[in-house]
Chains A and B, each alone.
Chain A
Amino acid sequence: MTKLLEVNNLHTRFKVRNGYLYAVNGVSFTLDKGEMLGVVGESGCGKSVSMMSLIRLLPPAAQITQGEVLLEGKDLAKASASEINMVRGSKVGMIFQDPMTSLNPFMKIGAQLCEGIIYHKKMSRADAMKQAAKYLDLVGISNSEHRLHEYPHQLSGGMRQRVMIAMALLGEPELVIADEPTTALDVTIQAQIVELVKELREKLNMSIIWITHDLSLLAGMVDRIMVMYGGSVVEEAPLDEIYKSPRHPYTIGLLKSIPSIKTEAGSRLPSIAGAPPNLFVEPQSCPFAARCAYRKERCTKEIPPLEPVSGAGANPHHRIACWVDVTKEPAEPKEGGML
Chain B
Amino acid sequence: MTDNTLELQQEEKQFSLAKDAFDRLIANKLAVIGMLLVVFLFFIAIFGPYITPYDFLSQDLQARNQAPSWAHWFGTDDLGRDIMSRVIYGARTAVIVAFSTTFLSLIIGIFMGSLGGYFGGKVDAFIVWLIDITMSVPSLLLVIVINVSMKPRLVNWMDEQFLLTGNSFYRNTILVDFVLVFGSLALIKWPKAARIIRGQIMSVRNKNYVLAAEAIGVPTPKIVWKYVIPNSIGPIIVYISAALGEAMVFESSFSFLGVGVRPPIPSWGNMISDGLRVWQLYPHILAAPAAVLALVTIAFSFLGDGLNDALNPRQWK
Contact of A101 among B15, B207, B227 (CB under 8 A): B207
Minimum CB distance partner of A171 in chain B: B216
Instruction: List the one stretch of B6-14, B71-79, B131-139, B188-196 in contact with chain A.
Output: B6-14
Shortest B223–chain A CB gap in Å is: 9
CB–CB A116/B231 < 8 A? no
Chain B residues with CB under 8 A of A57: 211, 214-215
Minimum CB distance partner of A128 in chain B: B8
Chain A residues with CB under 8 A of B9: 126
Contact of B215 among A59, A89, A98, A111 (CB under 8 A): A89
Shortest B116–chain A CB gap in Å is: 16
Chain A residues with CB under 8 A of B12: 125-126
Asked if A168 CB lies within 8 Å of chain B CBs, one says yes
Minimum CB distance partner of A81 in chain B: B220
Within 8 A of A (CB), among B193-252: 206-209, 211-219, 222, 226-227, 230-231
Instruction: List the one stretch of A102-110, A194-202, A230-238, A299-307 in contact with chain B.
Output: A102-110
Asked if B5 CB lies within 8 Å of chain A CBs, one says yes
Asked if A182 CB lies within 8 Å of chain B CBs, one says no
Chain A residues with CB under 8 A of B11: 149
If the complex has contacts A101-B208, A105-B231, A126-B8, are A88 and B215 also in contact, measured as CB distance less than 8 A?
A: yes
Contact of A153 among B121, B211, B227, B313 (CB under 8 A): B313
Asked if A63 CB lies within 8 Å of chain B CBs, one says no
Chain B residues with CB under 8 A of A108: 15
CB–CB B216/A101 < 8 A? no
Asked if A323 CB lies within 8 Å of chain B CBs, one says no
> Number of residues in A with C-beta < 8 Å to the partner?
41
Give complex CA distance A119, B218 in Å.
7
Give complex CA distance A171, B213 in Å.
13
Within 8 A of B (CB), among A317-331: none
Chain B residues with CB under 8 A of A55: 215
Asked if A129 CB lies within 8 Å of chain B CBs, one says yes
Give complex CA distance A92, B316 in Å.
34
Chain B residues with CB under 8 A of A129: 8
Shortest A15–chain B CB gap in Å is: 12
Asked if A164 CB lies within 8 Å of chain B CBs, one says yes
Asked if A34 CB lies within 8 Å of chain B CBs, one says no
CB–CB A168/B8 < 8 A? no
CB–CB B212/A103 < 8 A? yes
If the complex has contacts A104-B227, A151-B316, are A94 and B222 also in contact, measured as CB distance less than 8 A?
A: no
CB–CB A93/B216 < 8 A? yes
Give complex CA distance A130, B222 in Å.
22
Shortest A232–chain B CB gap in Å is: 25
Chain B residues with CB under 8 A of A96: 208, 211-212, 215
Give complex CA distance A90, B217 in Å.
8
CB–CB B314/A86 < 8 A? no
Highest count of chain B CB atoms <10 Å: which of A55, A105, A145 = A105
Chain B residues with CB under 8 A of A289: none
CB–CB A116/B218 < 8 A? yes
Asked if B291 CB lies within 8 Å of chain A CBs, one says no
CB–CB A17/B217 < 8 A? no
Asked if B17 CB lies within 8 Å of chain A CBs, one says yes
Minimum CB distance partner of B11 in chain A: A149
Give complex CA distance A171, B207 in Å.
22
Minimum CB distance partner of A153 in chain B: B314
Contact of B231 among A93, A104, A120 (CB under 8 A): A104
CB–CB B207/A89 < 8 A? no
Shortest A297–chain B CB gap in Å is: 42
Give complex CA distance A153, B12 in Å.
20
Asked if A170 CB lies within 8 Å of chain B CBs, one says yes
Highest count of chain A CB atoms <10 Å: which of B4, B15, B215 = B215
Shortest A68–chain B CB gap in Å is: 21
Shortest B53–chain A CB gap in Å is: 48
Asked if A190 CB lies within 8 Å of chain B CBs, one says no
Give complex CA distance A78, B209 in Å.
26
Asked if A332 CB lies within 8 Å of chain B CBs, one says no
CB–CB A116/B313 < 8 A? no
Give complex CA distance A170, B172 in Å.
67
Give complex CA distance A119, B214 in Å.
12
Contact of A85 among B4, B7, B207, B219 (CB under 8 A): B219
Shortest A229–chain B CB gap in Å is: 25
Asked if A69 CB lies within 8 Å of chain B CBs, one says no
If the complex has contacts A102-B209, A105-B313, A153-B316, are A94 and B215 also in contact, measured as CB distance less than 8 A?
A: yes
Contact of A86 among B217, B222, B231 (CB under 8 A): B217
Highest count of chain B CB atoms <10 Å: which of A59, A102, A120, A170 = A102
Give complex CA distance A102, B121 in Å.
26
Give complex CA distance A112, B230 in Å.
14
If the complex has contacts A104-B226, A126-B12, are A88 and B216 also in contact, measured as CB distance less than 8 A?
A: yes
CB–CB B313/A88 < 8 A? no
CB–CB A106/B313 < 8 A? yes
Contact of B209 among A94, A101, A145 (CB under 8 A): A101
Minimum CB distance partner of B223 in chain A: A115
Minimum CB distance partner of B227 in chain A: A104
CB–CB A170/B226 < 8 A? no
CB–CB B226/A17 < 8 A? no
Chain A residues with CB under 8 A of B215: 55, 57, 88-89, 93-94, 96, 168
- A sample of 18 inter-chain contacts (CB < 8 A) reads A85-B217, A93-B216, A94-B212, A96-B215, A101-B209, A102-B208, A102-B212, A104-B209, A104-B213, A104-B227, A105-B231, A111-B15, A112-B209, A115-B218, A116-B213, A119-B222, A149-B11, A171-B216
The 4 closest A-B pairs by CB, nearest first: A116-B216, A89-B216, A89-B217, A94-B215
New A-B contacts (8) at CB < 8 Å, excluding given A85-B219, A88-B215, A103-B212: A96-B211, A101-B209, A102-B211, A104-B230, A107-B226, A112-B213, A167-B212, A168-B215
